[in-house]
A and B are shown apart, each in its own frame.
Chain A
Amino acid sequence: MAKLEESAAVVDTAVFDGPDASGHFGPYGGVFVGETLIAAVEELAQVYEKLSADESFWAEYDSELKHYVGRPSPLYFAERLTDSAGGAKIYLKREDLNHTGAHKVNNTIGQALLAKHMGKTRIIAETGAGQHGVASATVAAKLGLECHVYMGAEDIIRQAPNVYRMKLLGANVISVESGSRTLKDAMNEALRDWATNVDNTYYIIGTVAGPHPYPKIVRDFQCVIGREAREQSLEQIGKAS
């Protein structure tokens, strides 16, 4: 296990195909937001470029993953599921055992550190099922930042336990009544909030979506799952592919 902890969180971006300098992944990606938010995403891209080249930033992130999130998460051979399915060996990477119960926290803890480095005092997030909202509320509480989570009105009804957890963590959960009242509308509403409060607000996006540099940032912070899984595969199975 010692080896795993040491190798936890250095992102080697050379292994990736993208994004290019303008934030594109081939024909995808890029920056498609209103002009009001351009300065904010450009600032984020600059800050992230600087911090992601800084070993001490990754050491800080690494330490949070180990001591707060509880990583590495186990790689578990699901023996009976494998027998039942009758084909390939099935392994489960137990992200559910992270603090807050999902992989979402790998990303939110990293982005909350970015927010702290940028001097932002207010966190906003969108959430669908509520896991990203819970993970955002948790890291905001940890760092003493104000937190507002946008959630579709339909999702609030469907995912009441997560709404309760977010509120317990001190977050303000805002019901989004527009459009289809689900995740994409929550994201639109978060973008509107960001455009209005852009000076003091950091928007934690929970998935590889949104304008550059978000897809890259989320990708980099979630890489820890694959890196650990590879190490653990080598250790448990003797091969990684």
Chain B
Amino acid sequence: MHKLVEQGADIIELGIPFSDPSSDGPVIQRSVERALAKGTTLNQVLELVAQFRETDADTGIVLMGYLNPIEAMGYKIFAQAASSSGVDGVLTVDLPPMEAAELNSVMRANQVDTIFLVAPTTREERVASITEHCSGYLYYVSLKGVTGAALIDFDSVTANINKLRGMTALPIVIGFGIKDAQSAAAMGKLADGVIIGSAVVEKIALLADQVEHDEQQLSDTIKVITEAREALDKLV
């Protein structure tokens, strides 16, 4: 995680492993299967954040996952633990805003942001109810499909981001399907941030069975972040 920051990540979205990741493509699916096979729990994810915070107080940490593990832990316990571990925001992909009132109020009471998605299929009338519940940033899903898919329609994203700008003052970030410097730069022109998930996780998978990794291996693993950062910095 520190290496990601060193290579230019401003915010780290950390996944909470769950057995039924129905919005995720094969790369993230396999990553949660590996994590669950090794017994990774939500508590361990929170401990990882706390450990990271010992030496980094500034980088944003957002937990991303599905509602089930949070529901199982209990909203209050989770919110307090997230807050004291140093989590800045939570994104639960299968919790739409209309079901989110209870979790939202508990998270807000603990100063943790709740981030929601807007998809290409989201009707305009719905956007207001999403932005009303959303804090931190608004996550625009670049395509119809699952994480790591490959068919971003640039014109449709442009049109939708422009519409969203008129409807919210929240920062807008784009994710799903951004896999290299080129797609990061294309989306970076439109958004306040871009999210790279599967492209990094795919590389991390190659290290999954190794206990030790050297600096060079780590740099190679997250090279896509380094390159995306450079491409985005050129835009400014």
Contacts and interface: CB of A to CB of B under 8 A. Distances in A.
B25 A192 contact: yes
Contact of A36 (B30, B99, B120): B120
Contacts of A185: 20
Contacts, number: 86
Interface string A181-194: 00011011001100
Given A179-B33, A196-B149, A34 B93 contact: yes
B8 interface: no
Interface stretch (A25-33, A65-73, A135-143, A157-165): A25-33
A224 B140 CA distance: 43
Contact of A32 (B33, B67, B145): B67
A118 B197 CA distance: 35
A36 B21 contact: no
Contacts of B126: 38-39
Contacts of B119: 34-36, 38-39
A192 B29 CA distance: 12
B22 A35 contact: no
Q: Which of B21, B23, B93, B120 has the most CB of A within 10 A?
A: B23
A22 interface: yes
A192 B146 CA distance: 6
B122 A38 contact: yes
B116 interface: yes
Q: Is the interface of B mostly helix, strand, loop or mixed?
A: loop
Interface residues of B, number: 33
Interface in B109-130: 116-123, 126, 130
A184 B141 CA distance: 25
Interface of A: 22, 30-40, 42, 178-180, 184-185, 187-188, 191-192, 195-199
11 contacts: A31-B96, A32-B99, A36-B119, A37-B121, A39-B119, A184-B19, A188-B21, A188-B22, A192-B24, A195-B146, A196-B144
Interface of B: 19-26, 29-30, 33, 67, 93-96, 98-99, 116-123, 126, 130, 141, 144-146, 149
Shortest 8 CB-CB contacts between residues of A and residues of B: A34-B23, A196-B145, A36-B119, A35-B117, A39-B121, A35-B119, A188-B22, A191-B22
